[in-house]
A and B are shown apart, each in its own frame.
Chain A
């Protein structure tokens, strides 16, 4: 065992050396993407040169311990919640048979398009003390009736689990549906019951997918500001925003953010170390395992479980949004909505394509060159997902503005030429900014899918003369279809929901639906914001549903 790991270390070191001396095109690419992500991270790291000890001391004396406890509860709670929901639903729709399964399979993805802050607001509206559920309850049972408070740690955890479980569900379903039946059959021939087979074979074989989904959820939960501020639940992000907007210290906010990112980086490294020696590929590509037919009681239980989740996480909030939208329609709707929708869609689609392509190339680069340096660069490339949006937006903007200033001054001083701002307000910059932010969503989906492709296939293809990009396009892409679809969906929806980067990097007067939602909610006009939110939901959903049915059909 020991000599084996020593062997690996030596191989990895050789790989690193090769990287430094003769980097391949793939490694150049990983370096380029990592540098792109490192630019805003460096801006944040530089914040340590500006001392902000007064704020640190204040936080330590008053809020910090409570913030850390709250953050811990949130992260552990939401990760557990999304894993329970996501994996169980993926198992039911991916491997079992029960009434309505084919519909639930795609319906359960719908909450993906529901921004977390929207779900939080709707839930608070419905279930709070002054909401339409508690008021009649108190009227019937008296004022002293004890009802659990939605504005609590468990309330936030519940809402965020419901909003974020699709990340785990989407990735895990992909694992279950690509898992051949052989492994499960082998387990059963060794005397495992289907349940035992699930826990001892199926679940471990799906680990990269589950871990990928859980990592995305964890990063989302850590970086979330919208939902927690609606619940007035103070977490680490609250401290970041307080330092910046309250104490006007971007330096302290940057310092706190770097801690957040380091924490995530360590978690990613740890998780990957733990499964380093595991293989997840199939020995042979086999037919999908036959579905487990649930018996009479169980099958209806499965149906009602899926409907219950769907009802609470999607239809209930969507109905509330519809109700508000109808109420404000005359006031809020104008001819700009077509344009807003068009921009949101085109931006989401372009970014999804762009990021998915880069993510596929990165995942392939990591497969070709699994040395420590390449893998570290790839890990760095995914860190943008863990930063609070506004902080990352500023981190992206500052080097851009510096570059622009340099170019403008250079042109003026040397050529007496008034150069306009080149970098700001162009779509290409928006796309690069989204790449920095959402690389994780694309990469995790594709990288986990790549685990299913055995190295034998690569070797066989090379023997047939397929190399590099050709190998990727001709051999891998068809096998990665599920992962690519997942990546496209996640990035598309994420980009459409994104606010801070869109606000900061968009061209003048270039609004999207998310910008519109921001405008209305920032002064508390939630009911008016329901219309753009609903539009976002519908146009974010439609492509997903279509794509989903398209891939299911094949």
Chain B
């Protein structure tokens, strides 16, 4: 046999050895942009409790959304799980999610953390807040996001890139609060105060504060939690801004039932279970986040960072204003 035929035969054999089976009747199929190691424990727990099997595939938000759109009504997906309200808002806007009437979800999840039209629901909460060096900054010097533009922070502020969706949602919230012109002014003063070009990750930003490259920055709570776990003597602390006004900017990871779900009832049941007491802790604690269900306590470790007043703006606004926020940051030279 010549090498070409042999290769093609091998390729063929390998290809057909991996054909996948099709969905069972009460199986659930999930498309998830939330990482596997954060969701798999929940899937396993649900299967253990109900016997319902959950099949899933993970990818980035963009490709998953495009996948749902291209597959149309032949999609296998029942549920879309993703991170950031902007992404959920966009999925709803593209028409790949369906409305759900569930008194249980309405009771478990505060109104500002779910879609006004009930197409998506927040499942865990993270705050995007200030972090400062306990060696060089006193908490009294801090007050609000906007105040980071004050001249006293010149050469002391560190930011993550504006390309990260978390910052886009934060600035969208500022636009909702202050209007576009004033927000642009705030962002411009932030850029003036930068001690170094924006970082690619929150962790790098905090390490730079530790090394003395800057004194204050904006990060998601769980990144701080991870660093603190590695080093309990961390010379960093969180500060909760805007406590006299709108509250700390919060964001969610969440989910929605797909428009062409084959098992929509099963998907709603699973969502309800996720918002319930026992699942909420499992969901939030896996990533050091806060439960969305107000009846559920956050993990003691997470609570030890302090309590705060959170923004009550509906997160759908962050999605609506996202492209304005990006354009504004581009104009202000925040990269």
Q: Is B208 an interface residue (CB 8 A)?
A: yes
Q: Which of B196-251 contact A (CB under 8 A)?
A: 196-204, 207-208, 210-213, 223
Partner of B57, one of A346, A408, A508: A508
The segment out of B13-21, B112-120, B138-146, B273-281 that lies at the interface is: B13-21
The segment out of A10-18, A84-92, A269-277, A520-528 that lies at the interface is: A520-528
Q: Are B4 and A473 in contact (CB under 8 A)?
A: yes
- Nearest B residue to A412 via CB reads B74
Q: Are B66 and A394 in contact (CB under 8 A)?
A: yes
Q: Is B331 an interface residue (CB 8 A)?
A: yes
Q: Are B323 and A247 in contact (CB under 8 A)?
A: yes
List B contacts of A134 (CB < 8 A).
211
Bound Cα distance from A218 to B298, whole angstroms: 50
Known contacts A232-B197, A408-B74; is-contact A130 B22 (Cβ 8 Å): no
Q: Are B70 and A402 in contact (CB under 8 A)?
A: yes
Q: Are B57 and A509 in contact (CB under 8 A)?
A: yes
Q: Are A509 and B90 in contact (CB under 8 A)?
A: no
Q: Is B8 an interface residue (CB 8 A)?
A: yes
Q: Which of A454-487 contact B (CB under 8 A)?
A: 469, 473, 477
List A contacts of B70 (CB < 8 A).
397-398, 401-402
List A contacts of B198 (CB < 8 A).
232
Q: Is B170 an interface residue (CB 8 A)?
A: no
Partner of A519, one of B58, B199, B203, B331: B58
In the complex, per-residue mask of B53-87: 1 if CB is within 8 Å of any chain A CB, else 0: 00111111111001100111010100000000000
- Nearest B residue to A418 via CB reads B22
Bound Cα distance from A517 to B193, whole angstroms: 35
Q: Is B11 an interface residue (CB 8 A)?
A: yes
Q: Is B99 an interface residue (CB 8 A)?
A: no
List A contacts of B201 (CB < 8 A).
524
Bound Cα distance from A393 to B213, whole angstroms: 39
- Nearest B residue to A244 via CB reads B62
Q: Are A509 and B18 in contact (CB under 8 A)?
A: no
B-side interface mostly = helix
Q: Are B10 and A350 in contact (CB under 8 A)?
A: yes
Q: Are B200 and A128 in contact (CB under 8 A)?
A: no
- Residue in A58, A246, A425 whose Cβ sees the most chain B Cβ within 10 Å: A246
List A contacts of B74 (CB < 8 A).
404-405, 408-409, 421
Q: Which of A368-384 contact B (CB under 8 A)?
A: none
Sorting the interface of chain A by its residue count into under 10, 10 to 19, 20 to 34 or 35 or more gives 35 or more
- Nearest B residue to A484 via CB reads B3
Bound Cα distance from A393 to B63, whole angstroms: 8
Q: Is A420 an interface residue (CB 8 A)?
A: yes
Known contacts A232-B335, A503-B60; is-contact A129 B55 (Cβ 8 Å): no
Partner of B90, one of A130, A248, A420, A522: A248
- Residue in A130, A356, A500, A510 whose Cβ sees the most chain B Cβ within 10 Å: A130
Q: Are B66 and A405 in contact (CB under 8 A)?
A: no
**Minimum C-beta distance from A314 to chain B (A):** 23
Q: Are B59 and A353 in contact (CB under 8 A)?
A: no
The segment out of A71-79, A281-289, A305-313, A426-434 that lies at the interface is: A426-434
Q: Is A199 an interface residue (CB 8 A)?
A: no
**Minimum C-beta distance from A418 to chain B (A):** 9
Partner of A357, one of B7, B62, B322: B7
Can you report 12 A-B residue pairs in the complex whose CB atoms are below 8 A from each other? A130-B211, A151-B197, A232-B198, A246-B323, A350-B15, A353-B11, A354-B11, A394-B62, A421-B71, A506-B57, A507-B20, A508-B20
Interface positions of A (Cβ within 8 A of B): 58, 61-63, 124, 128-130, 134-135, 143, 151, 229-232, 234, 238, 241-242, 244-248, 250, 346, 350, 353-354, 356-357, 361, 390, 393-394, 397-398, 401-402, 404-405, 408-409, 420-421, 425-428, 431, 469, 473, 477, 500, 503-504, 506-511, 515, 519-520, 522-524
Per CB-CB distance, the 8 closest pairs between chain A and chain B, nearest first, are A130-B211, A401-B70, A428-B15, A130-B207, A62-B330, A507-B20, A427-B18, A427-B15
Q: A509-B56, A519-B36 are in contact. List 12 more A-B contacts (CB 8 A).
A: A129-B213, A130-B213, A229-B200, A232-B199, A241-B163, A408-B74, A425-B20, A431-B11, A504-B59, A506-B57, A507-B18, A522-B60
